[in-house]
Chain A
Amino acid sequence: MLSCREMTEVCSAEMERPLRLGEQVSLRAHLMMCAGCANYRKQLKTLRRIMQAYAEGNATAVDPGLGKDG
């Protein structure tokens, strides 16, 4: 059974290449029991979405009136 620390590496590898069968099985088994890693994995995907929005210039297209801080 892989540790959470190792699982974070697998989650990052998943963003780069198809996982090997053994990795897929370990990941699935681990995520069923570990909410921390399930959240981590989801957050890596969110980070990618954020980066895409950032690259499209969204950060500078924000209407200051919309935010909580506006």
Chain B
Amino acid sequence: MQRPSSDPAVPAGASMQGISAEALLSLRADMLRFAQLQLRNTETAEDLVQESIEAALKKSSSFAGQSTLKTWVFAILRNRIIDHLRQAARTVTMSSLVNDDDDWQESLEALFNERGHWRGGPRPVAWPNPEESMQTRQFWAVFETCLDHLPANTGRIFMMREFLGFESDEICAQLGITTSNCHVILHRARLKLRGCMDSGWGRPEGAKC
């Protein structure tokens, strides 16, 4: 497989001791979880994680601390996922992108009345302190579950935009879809993800799912 040209540079200020294989392997489970969420294919996820660990081991520098190593290794993985998606995107058809959300009309009707105004229950109320919640495992468990529940292609495009940091123009171009289609898909993803986070974390008193 062609090596991505985009592997991140080793952070400045790194010492010269070399990366321990143990330190890298301890990150493997986390890396797998990330890759799997994004790719929804265990085999590909395992391949890319393995390649990323090998790529990291080949570099001869080490890092000031665990978190720096982690950030760096995840950046390598992220670039490999991007390369993979770029290739895979060419085989995705337009209809499978737009039609993978069968219950979209129902979700809209559940949220808005016939005049397009919020229904009482779903009307958004302010979320309690997200920054504080982001320090808890429970919060991230809810978040991952919500990401996982997005329709597959909708979720993939949302992840390309918000997780991998593509601009939406770039996503459209790569997938060969129009800007407005791309925006519609992102809008659906946000509406659904917000709703899921709202019931799972934002107002747990009224949780329904």
Size class of the contact patch on chain A: 35 or more
Are A47 and B194 in contact (CB-based, < 8 A)? yes
Return the contact of B125 from the options A3, A12, A39, A67 (Cβ within 8 A). A39
Q: Does B40 contact A (CB under 8 A)?
A: no
- B71, B116, B136, B191: the one within 8 Å of A67 (CB): B136
Known: A4-B117, A36-B118, A68-B136. A12 touches B70 (CB 8 A): no
B90 within 8 A of A: no
Chain B proximity mask over A23-45: 1 for CB below 8 Å, otherwise 0: 00000000000111101101110
- Total interface residues in chain B, CB < 8 Å: 45
Q: How far is the CB of A36 from chain B (nearest CB, A)?
A: 4
Q: Are A57 and B163 in contact (CB under 8 A)?
A: no
Task: Render B65-89 as a binary contact track against A, CB cut-off 8 A, 1 for contact.
Answer: 0010011001000100000000000
For A5, the closest partner residue in chain B by CB is: B116
Q: Which residues from chain B contact A42 at a C-beta distance below 8 Å?
A: 126
Write 23 A-B pairs (CB below 8 A) sorted by A numbering: A3-B112, A4-B116, A4-B118, A5-B111, A5-B112, A5-B116, A12-B186, A16-B168, A16-B186, A34-B118, A36-B118, A43-B198, A46-B130, A47-B197, A54-B163, A55-B165, A57-B30, A57-B70, A57-B71, A62-B136, A67-B135, A68-B138, A69-B136
